């Protein structure tokens, strides 16, 4: 039995950042974590992705036991394949937990349809939310080596916060459809697109890169360069947001969220979620252009970006 749905629940009302929660009508699919070892393996994979071989070494148990429980967790859709890695000529698979939290609901639980108020949708997003429904596709970089640079996408978790924010303007509790950049086909390009990740890790960003008013310059060590100010930004927590026409279909729009490294991409998403009105003001050097450059700030000193400074 498949889960009722996967929802996005806000855990931090100050930042608006989300955690993924899966709801189940039957506890049968949770059988994979009812054993002590199954639960320990699930917890390890919730902390960080790992391969069964590495888990066996870390937990000091036989590989076959780990493989058995990993297979059960995978069948129950409680874990998912995160990436693959070649080791000594063989392909090693790394798994991570699928939702960040689980909840079991009873069969007689009442459902309530969310009410939609079109006036709550900012004008700049009305192409992305139509009649209370999400009218866009989120595209993240594949976690496997791919594209010209054989890079691995590591920014996909940022898409959760974007889906939550954009989904708050809809009456549809199911998160917006998303695809890996490697899964995109011809018809997929002709939509409103929310693209997450820089040009090395996301092939759609790479295709748009040099045509944008703010882009990443391969010849300049992938620094962020603004055609509006002529400035270059080279710190890992720098990122940019660009909203523009979709070149594959000019009746549609694209929003690109890209950072020099993961902290930079996270900073762009935080800027969009926490300071949306400021983002929509346009670039300070040319307000007609919807392009912002931001710097991530770690205010509480825990090593994680939690706010931003607008550079332009």
Whether 51 shows a pLDDT value over 50: the answer reads yes
Q: Is residue 181 part of a domain?
A: yes
Among candidates 35, 26, 43, which has minimal Cα distance to 72?
A: 35
The answer on 133 and 76 residing in a single domain is no
Q: Which of 104, 129, 150 is the last residue of a domain?
A: 104
The answer on 127 and 70 residing in a single domain is no
117 versus 239: the higher-pLDDT residue is 239
263-298 residue pLDDT tens = 999 999 999 999 999 999 999 999 999 999 999 998
The answer on 129 and 85 residing in a single domain is no
Residues shown for the chain: 312
Tell me the C-alpha distance between 312 and 220, whole Å.
Answer: 19
129-162 residue pLDDT tens = 877 788 899 999 999 999 999 999 988 888 888 8
| The pair of three-digit structure tokens given for residue 260, joined into one six-digit string | 């020099």
108-137 residue pLDDT tens = 656 555 454 555 778 888 889 877 788 899
Q: What pLDDT, on a 0 to 100 scale, did the predictor assign at position 301?
A: 81
Q: What is the CATH number of the domain that holds 199?
A: 3.30.379.10
The answer on 225 and 136 residing in a single domain is yes
Q: Which of 41, 74, 104 is the last residue of a domain?
A: 104
Tell me the C-alpha distance between 230 and 159, whole Å.
Answer: 30
Mean pLDDT (whole number) for 232-245: 96
Q: What pLDDT, on a 0 to 100 scale, did the predictor assign at position 104?
A: 67
Name, in order, each residue with C-beta under 8 angstroms of 99's C-beta and a sequence gap of 6 or more. Answer: 6, 20, 21, 22, 78
15-44 residue pLDDT tens = 445 555 666 666 777 788 889 999 999 999
Read off φ and ψ for residue 20, nearest 5 degrees. -85, 135
Q: Which of 69, 104, 139 is the last residue of a domain?
A: 104
Tell me the C-alpha distance between 172 and 5, whole Å.
Answer: 11
The answer on 176 and 100 residing in a single domain is no
The answer on 92 and 65 residing in a single domain is yes
| The pair of three-digit structure tokens given for residue 117, joined into one six-digit string | 């108020």
What does DSSP assign to residue 289? S
Domain that holds residue 54: 5-104
Q: Is residue 279 part of a domain?
A: yes
The answer on 306 and 173 residing in a single domain is yes
């Amino acid at each position: 039995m498949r889960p009722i749905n996967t929802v996005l629940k806000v855990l931090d009302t100050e930042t608006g950042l989300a955690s993924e929660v899966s709801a189940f009508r039957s506890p049968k699919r949770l059988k994979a974590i009812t054993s002590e070892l199954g639960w320990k393996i699930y917890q390890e994979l919730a902390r960080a992705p790992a391969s069964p071989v590495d888990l066996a070494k870390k937990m000091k148990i036989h590989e076959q036991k780990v493989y058995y429980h990993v297979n059960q967790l995978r069948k129950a859709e409680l874990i998912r394949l995160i990436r693959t890695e070649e080791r000594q000529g063989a392909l090693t698979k790394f798994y991570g937990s699928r939702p960040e939290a689980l909840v079991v609901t009873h069969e007689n639980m009442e459902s309530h349809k969310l009410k939609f108020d079109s006036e709550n949708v900012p004008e700049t997003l009305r192409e992305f939310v139509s009649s209370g429904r999400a009218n866009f596709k989120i595209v993240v970089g594949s976690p496997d080596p791919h594209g010209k640079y054989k890079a691995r996408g590591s920014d996909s978790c940022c898409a959760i916060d974007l889906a939550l924010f954009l989904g708050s303007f809809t009456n549809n509790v199911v998160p917006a459809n998303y695809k890996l950049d490697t899964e995109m086909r011809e018809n997929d390009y002709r939509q409103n697109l929310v693209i997450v990740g820089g040009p090395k890790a996301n092939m759609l960003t790479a295709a748009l890169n040099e045509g944008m008013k703010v882009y990443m310059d391969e010849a300049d060590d992938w620094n962020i360069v603004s055609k509006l100010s002529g400035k270059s930004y080279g710190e890992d927590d720098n990122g940019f947001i660009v909203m523009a026409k979709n070149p594959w279909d000019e009746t549609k729009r694209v929003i690109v969220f890209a950072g020099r490294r993961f902290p930079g991409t996270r900073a762009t998403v935080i800027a969009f979620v926490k300071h949306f009105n400021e983002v929509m003001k346009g670039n300070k050097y040319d307000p007609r252009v919807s392009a912002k450059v931001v710097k991530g700030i770690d205010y509480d000193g825990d090593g994680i970006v939690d706010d931003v400074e607008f550079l332009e």
